[in-house]
């Protein structure tokens, strides 16, 4: 396991073949993305995959993003939040240095048992550049092995916002996103594990995929190029169910939200331009 503060450095390449696979996953024309063009903001997830050996994976299959994720005897893991600062564009085809580390690890006792909060930090530096092009932190919740027991949830009133669209993350999208990020977390790809071991009603949409759906809404529908995003994950989204994406202006910034099929607020994103 990577110790607190230890940094892992890797050479990464934003190669055009992988970028075109992201485009294909999003049902875009791969030929629209060429070497030298700026990588769409939000697509840098392809540069953050860990190379954790299979024998060192957590019991839930999660490899970590950039660094191996600690186990701590807490077999369940959910993404709680992320912040991303886009300092400059990453050209498609560029070589980069990725530096990833465990920034903080805090264990606590709750009424449901022990849990831990782990923050992972990343910097992506273009070759020859001292300052990062992208900085990101991710905060994960490590949880005990207690099954969810969701009661009946009533449908909430319809979503109201300045701009609204919908999306559906099906099994194929979850698989392709997980493959592109080298993410073997079982709740996204193993329905039996998600249901029978962790107590979810179905496969869980990757937190990073939910973020990508929102940043694509920004890029394609709102024509916004973000300088920074701050994301909180409030409730799970599930495979095959309609996700409502909503956006409102907030002064010179934007405030985006994702809602599940019962209109529960699942993801909150603040966007700086």
Spatial neighbors of 246 by CB under 8 A, at least 6 apart, are 159, 160, 161, 163, 164, 256, 257, 258, 259
What would you measure as the largest C-alpha separation in the chain, in angstroms? Answer: 55
Please tell me the distance from the alpha carbon of residue 105 to that of residue 132, in angstroms, as a whole number. 24
Q: Which pair of tokens denotes residue 138?
A: 């991710």
Q: List the pLDDT tens digit at each of the 273 positions of the chain.
A: 445 668 899 999 999 999 999 999 999 999 999 999 999 999 999 999 989 889 888 889 888 766 777 778 898 899 999 999 999 999 999 999 999 999 999 999 988 789 999 999 999 999 999 999 999 999 999 999 876 666 677 899 999 999 999 999 999 999 999 999 999 999 999 999 999 999 999 999 999 999 999 999 999 999 999 999 999 999 999 999 999 999 999 898 999 999 999 999 999 999 999
For 57-68, what is the HEC assignment? CCCCCCCCCCCC
Q: Which pLDDT score, from 0 to 100, does residue 1 have?
A: 45
Q: Which residue ranges form the domains of the chain, and what is each CATH number?
A: 1-146 (3.10.129.10), 148-273 (3.10.129.10)
Quote the pLDDT of residue 13. 98
CA terminus-to-terminus distance, the chain: 37
């Amino acid at each position: 396991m990577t110790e607190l503060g230890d940094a892992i450095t890797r050479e990464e390449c934003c190669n055009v073949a992988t970028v075109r696979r992201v485009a294909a996953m999003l049902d875009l024309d791969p030929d629209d993305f060429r070497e030298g063009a700026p990588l769409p903001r939000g697509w840098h997830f392809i540069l953050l995959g860990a190379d954790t050996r299979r024998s060192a994976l957590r019991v839930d299959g999660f490899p970590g993003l950039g660094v191996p994720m600690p186990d701590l005897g807490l077999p369940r893991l959910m993404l709680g939040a992320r912040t991303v600062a886009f300092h400059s564009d990453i050209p498609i085809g560029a070589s980069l240095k990725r530096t990833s580390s465990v920034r903080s690890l805090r264990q606590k006792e709750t009424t449901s048992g022990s849990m831990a909060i782990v923050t992972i930090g990343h910097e992506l530096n273009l070759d020859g550049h001292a300052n990062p092009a992208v900085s990101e932190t991710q905060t994960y919740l490590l949880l005990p092995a207690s099954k969810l027991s969701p009661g009946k949830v009533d449908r909430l009133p319809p979503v109201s916002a300045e701009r609204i669209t919908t999306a559906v993350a099906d099994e194929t999208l979850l698989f392709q996103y997980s493959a592109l990020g080298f993410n073997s977390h079982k709740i996204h790809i193993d329905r039996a594990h998600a249901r029978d071991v962790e107590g979810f009603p179905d496969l869980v949409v990757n937190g990073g995929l939910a973020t990508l759906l929102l940043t694509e809404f920004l890029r394609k529908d709102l024509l916004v190029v973000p300088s920074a995003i701050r994301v909180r994950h409030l409730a799970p989204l599930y495979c095959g169910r309609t996700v409502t994406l909503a956006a409102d202006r907030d002064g010179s910034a934007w405030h985006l939200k994702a809602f599940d099929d019962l209109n529960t607020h699942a993801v909150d994103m603040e966007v700086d331009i």
